[in-house]
Amino acid sequence: MYINVKDVSVYYTQGGGTFEALKNVSLSINQGEFVCLLGPSGCGKSTLLNLLAGFEKPTKGEILIGEKQVTAPAPKYLTIFQNYGLFPWRTVLHNVELGLEAKGMRRQARRQQALKYLEMVGLAQAKDKKPCQLSGGMQQRVAIARALAAEPEILFMDEPFGALDAITRMKLQDDILRICKEEGKTIIFVTHDIEEAVFLADRIVVMEANPGSVQRIVEVEMPHERDRTSDDFIVVRDKVFALMHLKKDKEVEYYI
């Protein structure tokens, strides 16, 4: 297994009591896999992502990526944030170059690499603009290009399309799927949108709250290039709906 979450718990103390953000979570993820963490707010899915990305430390248990324990964030494992985290004082191109500067890459090589990935997300023509001149969807594309340019092994995505409108969101879902299959990245993707999870994931980790834990792991046995309106898609979606107790049992309320 490539990523191993071993019996991880996270407790926060607040006002004398302890709050269990995550309780005894274990999970294994393969290289190249697209895994969605799905659940209602408060189920600890973002906490789990932060642990994987090294931004937080578990109270109990350990997390291994490729046999090494995760203790701090690293450029090999990059996170895409919901609010993009682009630097408004830099142009699009310079934003994408950020990770390459940290690696000490030369200016010319940096520029080339950044342009390559901007082209991949379809924004090469916007390279000299400032982030504030772009729409939310375009900004998130820039953030994705910035991450890809640094050539990470894993992308952690924390509700990356949560702030976008439905149509833009679907376009970006298509793009991220295509790009990640092309580039062979492992992706851990946090969302509370069931359709999004069913559309994207190889496996969906359904989580529940109080305490935050894994309820069930659903394999999505459909090839990629999924059709959101196909019968297969709806079957899987309904299964997840049912798991999350969102499917209403149609009880007969009265007889005539």
Partner 1 sequence: MRKKVWYTAVSLAVLIVIWEAAVLLGKFPEVLFPSPAGVWSAFWQLWESGLPGSSSRVVLGTHILVSLKRFFIGYVSAVVTAVTAGLLLGWFSKVFYYINPIVQLVRPIAPVAWMPFIVLWFGIGDAPAVVIIFLAGFFPVLLSTVAAVEHMDPVYRKVARNFGLSQVQTIRKVVFPAALPQIMNSLRLALGTAWIFLVSGEMVGAQSGLGFLIIDAKNCLRSDALLATMITIGVIGLLLDWGIRRLEKLVL
Does residue 73 bind partner 1 (CB under 8 A)? yes
Helix (H, G, I), strand (E, B) or coil at 159: coil
Nearer to partner 1, 34 or 156 (CB): 156
Q: Which stretch binds partner 1 (CB under 8 A): 19-27, 38-46, 67-75, 178-186?
A: 67-75
Does residue 61 bind partner 1 (CB under 8 A)? no
List binders of partner 1 among 113-172 (CB under 8 A).
150
- Tokens read off for 150: 């640094």
Specify the length of the chain in residues: 256
Q: Could you count the other beta carbons within 10 Å of the beta carbon of residue 227? A: 10
Count of residues that interact with partner 1, criterion CB under 8 A? 21
Nearer to partner 1, 77 or 199 (CB): 77
Task: Say which amino acid occupies 69.
Answer: Q
Residues 6 or more apart in contact with residue 159 via CB below 8 angstroms: 46, 82, 190, 191, 192
Taking CB under 8 A as the criterion, the residue among 4, 28, 59, 83 binding partner 1 is: 83
- Give the angle 98-183-99 at the CA atoms, nearest 5°: 10
Does residue 55 bind partner 1 (CB under 8 A)? yes
Q: Which stretch binds partner 1 (CB under 8 A): 101-109, 164-172, 213-221, 240-248?
A: 101-109
Helix (H, G, I), strand (E, B) or coil at 205: strand
User: Cα–Cα distance between 174 and 158 in angstroms, integer?
Assistant: 17
Q: Which stretch binds partner 1 (CB under 8 A): 97-105, 200-208, 233-241, 242-250?
A: 97-105
Taking CB under 8 A as the criterion, the residue among 102, 109, 242, 246 binding partner 1 is: 102
Helix (H, G, I), strand (E, B) or coil at 234: helix
For tokens 């580039």, the residue is: 183
Taking CB under 8 A as the criterion, the residue among 39, 44, 58, 99 binding partner 1 is: 99
User: Cα–Cα distance between 43 and 55 in angstroms, integer?
Assistant: 18
Residue 160 C-beta: closest distance to partner 1, Å: 13
User: Cα–Cα distance between 37 and 159 in angstroms, integer?
Assistant: 10
Nearer to partner 1, 29 or 78 (CB): 78
Residue pair 84/142 in contact by the 8 Å Cβ criterion: yes
Residue 78 C-beta: closest distance to partner 1, Å: 6
Q: Which residues bind partner 1 (CB under 8 A)?
A: 53, 55, 72-75, 77-79, 81, 83, 85, 87, 89-90, 98-99, 101-103, 150
